[in-house]
Amino acid sequence: MDPRNLLPTSLLDEFPILKQTINGRPLVYLDNAATVQKPECVLNAVDHYYRTDNANVHRGVHTLSQRATDSFEAAREQLRMHLNAAHTHEILWTRGTTEGVNLVAHGFRTFLQPGDALVVSTLEHHSNLVPWQMLAQATGAELRFIPLLDDGSLDQDAYLELLDRRVKLVAFNHISNALGTVNPVQSMTAAAHQVGAAVFVDGAQAVPHSTVDVQALDVDFYAFSGHKMYGPTGMGVLYGKTEWLERLPPYMGGGEMIDQVRLEGSTYAGLPFKFEAGTPHIAGAIGLAEASRWMHRVGLERIARHEDELLRYATAKLQTVDGIRLYGTAAHKAAVISFNLDGAHPYDVGMLLDQMGIAVRTGQHCTQPIMDRYGIPGTVRASLAAYTTVEHLDTLVDGVQKAARMLL
Ligand code: 7TS
């Protein structure tokens, strides 16, 4: 094994989609921050559920319904363990990170009034920015922004200056999808709690990459998407501390989330069901739990070390390409390399790489304010996963070199 491939390259064999050619070349999939591929065991878990257990949950006395309910609730417990949450009812199923942010932002409409403030970082995916703008607009609360330093880290001194007793909630990501910056969640959370503010963390890019312990971080809310952690699309998790979930009003009304329904009004179910109106994505929960088990089998710490090693390797090698400029050079970063070739549009670089079978994302990465901060239309982004190898990254660097020769 190459010493830099800390995980065995045989991991690739578990991902059927990766065994194909694109434009006549073996696929090198480096768009993992957008979505990761699914191992065979996840595909089988979803397939098995539909073939043998499919039924609606929490309602039938019949055997299939009980089996579906058992698997669905066992999946919730698996995700509780994954995050080390204190209680299973603190794990809410959502469609993904975006729904998690909206659920909390909508609920906070009942808590905020003019004179209150929200603090949001400028390193956010639009999904952890726009819902807070909507909340500010609906309530008259003030929005304050944590500025970005040139290396792509958040200005921690400026952050502390923004905090006072008017701040009711602080929102930021654990790892940036555009630059790979890892934010100091623990210290930022402690500072917010000192002024009595709740903390919402977007963990979409952190959960696939590393171990997340919500109790150690002491965050109030933590959201992520299953499809970025080897699970199905349309499935995500919102973790919330019990005391916050009890205070927060329901997001959607309907079946499953009620206690008693009368024409004059209704009472709501307890946690977590108060937030889960309608038939849930049962197969998604089962697939996500299998993805979590897969990550544990491979080893969360091993995945993090493997990706960190590859990130260092690829960063050093890409820096040797003439005319390249890297964005996001914070000391603490993970799994994402964003760059441009001087004078070339990121889209053109991405198109040329696709011709060579290499899948990267180009553009703003749903982070327009970050691109504005650097005065660029976008970047080319290569993002890593557990199945990424040194050989993939060598192919990427060769490809970027070729693109530079053609475009510059
Ligand atoms: N937050 C972060 C940090 C993200 O990276 C993404 C998706 C989201 C929120 C939204 O997740 P969703 O599953 O609800 O859509 N990021 C990306 C990306 O970087 N390229 O495509 C999607």
pLDDT per position as a tens digit, 156-190: 999 999 999 999 999 999 999 999 999 999 999 99
Give the global pTM: 0.98
Looking only at the bridges linking them, the beta strands covering 221-225 and 236-240 are antiparallel
**pLDDT of 289 strictly over 70:** yes
Q: How far is the CA of 96 from the centre of ligand 1 (A)?
A: 9
Please report which confidence band the pLDDT of residue 244 belongs to, taking 50, 70 and 90 as the band edges. very high
Cα(144)–Cα(158) distance, integer angstroms = 11
Q: What average pLDDT score do residues 112-130 get? A: 98
Architecture, CATH, for domain 3-30+300-407: Alpha-Beta Complex (3.90)
The pLDDT assigned to 3 comes to: 56
Q: Identify the residues whose C-beta falls under 6 Å from ligand 1.
A: 33-34, 96-98, 125, 127-128, 173, 177, 202, 204-205, 225, 361, 365-366
**pLDDT of 256 strictly over 60:** yes
Please report which confidence band the pLDDT of residue 5 belongs to, taking 50, 70 and 90 as the band edges. confident
Stretch(es) of the chain classified as CATH 3.40.640.10: 43-296
- H or E segment at 363? strand 361-363
The pLDDT assigned to 368 comes to: 97
Q: Give 266-270 contacts, CB < 8 A, sequence gap 24+.
A: 270/89
Mean pLDDT of the chain: 97
* Identified catalytic residue from 134, 366, 376, 407: 366
The pLDDT assigned to 47 comes to: 98
Q: What average pLDDT score do residues 379-402 get? A: 98
Q: What average pLDDT score do residues 369-393 get? A: 97
For 309-345, what is each residue's pLDDT tens digit? Answer: 999 999 999 999 999 999 999 999 999 999 999 989 9
**pLDDT of 203 strictly over 90:** yes
**pLDDT of 387 strictly over 60:** yes
At residue 31, φ and ψ (nearest 5 deg) are: -115, 45
Cβ atoms < 10 Å from Cβ of 277:
18
The pLDDT assigned to 2 comes to: 59
The pLDDT assigned to 209 comes to: 97
Q: How far is the CA of 125 from the centre of ligand 1 (A)?
A: 7
**pLDDT of 1 strictly over 80:** no
Alpha-carbon dihedral angle through residues 250, 254, 258, 263, given to the nearest 10 degrees = 110
**pLDDT of 96 strictly over 90:** yes
Q: How far is the CA of 258 from the centre of ligand 1 (A)?
A: 31
**Biggest alpha carbon–alpha carbon distance for the chain:** 71
Stretch(es) of the chain classified as CATH 3.90.1150.10: 3-30+300-407
| DSSP-derived secondary structure for 61-89 | -SHHHHHHHHHHHHHHHHHHHHHT-S-GG
Type of residue numbered 177: N
Q: Decide if 366 is catalytic.
A: yes
Please report which confidence band the pLDDT of residue 154 belongs to, taking 50, 70 and 90 as the band edges. very high
3 state DSSP class of 313: helix
Q: For residue 51, what is the DSSP state?
A: I
List b or e across 197-210, with b for residues whose CB sees 16 or more CB atoms inside 10 angstroms. bbbbbbbbbbbbbb
- Work out the percent of the chain whose per-residue pLDDT is above 70: 99
| C-alpha dihedral sign at 370, 374, 377, 382 | negative
**What topology does CATH give the domain 43-296?**
Aspartate Aminotransferase; domain 2 (3.40.640)
Please report which confidence band the pLDDT of residue 408 belongs to, taking 50, 70 and 90 as the band edges. confident
Going across the sheet that includes 324-327, the strands are: 324-327, 336-341, 379-383, 361-363
